[in-house]
Amino acid sequence: MLKLTNVSAGYGSGDVIKNINLSIEPGCNLSIIGPNGCGKSTLLKVMAGILPYRGEITLDGQPLNRMKRGQIAGKIAMLSQISPLTFSYTVYDTVMMGRYRHSNTLLGAPTAKDKEVVANCLQAVEMLEVGDRDITKLSGGQLQRVFLARTLAQEPDIILLDEPTNHLDLKYQIELIDYLKNHQASRSIIGVLHDINQAMRLSENFLILKNGQELAHGRNILTDELLNTAYGIDVAAYMRETLARWLR
């Protein structure tokens, strides 16, 4: 279980998130939504153990800030937006990097289990046949699918999603969310998603942030009034208007 108690964090002298309280049980999905700049990505970085914080975070009962990076990587993986590539590896080798935490030595050769897991993950994202291709030659959508496979190969207990569908076309946006849900077992998925429809597809549990603070948290909590307060516009009316166009 991942538990946050009165957690605040930021950059420099200012807090971006303030007094966040949250518990994530095994197998529980959570969608984090809110306007730009409200602290969604900052919160994920704190959960991943890559940003200092005040307050308390425990992961399976252990204080997160006392755990080594390897220990955290054994339980939490993050899939983020695509950033510019500074390295050139094959698709296969990139996904194999997700098996690093399972190796007993720094340069240990992949085991039969490692190779099996990598092949299964590549097959799941329909990239097995291009395993020898240089990742710098891939489209944005293909590259994100490779990074998803790498995340899955890590076999984490918790997957953090930071706007992972930005470079995917609609088909793969839907497939990514559905794949994670259908293959999660006891894994927890915590997703930051700008698209409210995708957020609803991922989970019925929501954390809504505004100005770095919790506006609302719970199951099936989305209402017209709450969304209006969070985003400052009539979100539900906009979505209904769009749907009406399809139904003409």
pLDDT band of 33, cuts 50, 70, 90: very high
CA-CA distance, 160 to 31, in Å (whole number)?
10
173 pLDDT band (50/70/90 cuts)?
A: confident
* Domains in the chain, number: 2
Are 138 and 164 part of one and the same domain?
no
Name which of 133-147, 172-186, 223-237 the model is least confident about: 172-186
As a whole number of angstroms, the distance between CA 57 and CA 35 comes to: 25
Which of residues 100, 135, 153 is at a domain's end?
153
Bridge partners of residue 244, in order along the sequence: none
Residues 43 and 161 in one domain: yes
How does DSSP classify residue 34? -
Of the residues 136, 153, 170, which one is the last residue of a structural domain?
Answer: 153
CA distance 236 to 40: 21
- Does residue 166 share a domain with residue 59? yes
Span 209-237, average pLDDT: 93
Q: Is residue 85 part of a domain?
A: no
What is the percentage of the chain residues whose pLDDT exceeds 90? Answer: 56
Checking if the pLDDT of 67 tops 80, the result is yes
Ramachandran region, residue 39 (left: φ > 0; alpha: ψ -120 to 50; beta: rest): left
**Range from 86-95, 136-145, 203-212, 232-241 that averages highest in pLDDT:** 203-212
- Report if residue 84 sits inside a domain: no
Residue numbers of the domain that contains 232: 2-75+156-246
Beta strands in 40-183 (DSSP E): 54-59, 62-63, 76-79, 158-162
pLDDT tops 70 at residue 141: yes
Please state, rounded to an integer, the average pLDDT across all residues of the chain: 88
What Rg do the C-alpha atoms of the chain give, in angstroms?
19
pLDDT at 214: 96
Reported as a pLDDT band with limits 50, 70 and 90, residue 240 is confident
Mean of the pLDDT values across residues 84-90?
Answer: 76
* Confidence (pLDDT) at 164: 82
Q: Which candidate, 35, 37, 34, 55, places its Cα nearest to that of 46?
A: 55
Domain limit, last residue, from 153, 171, 186: 153
Q: 176: domain CATH number?
A: 3.40.50.300
Average pLDDT, integer, range 110-132: 91
One domain, residues 173 and 63: yes
Residue spans of beta strands (DSSP E) within 103-241 = 158-162, 188-192, 205-210, 213-219
Do 166 and 234 have their domain in common? Answer: yes
Q: Which residue reads 């609803």 in tokens? A: 200
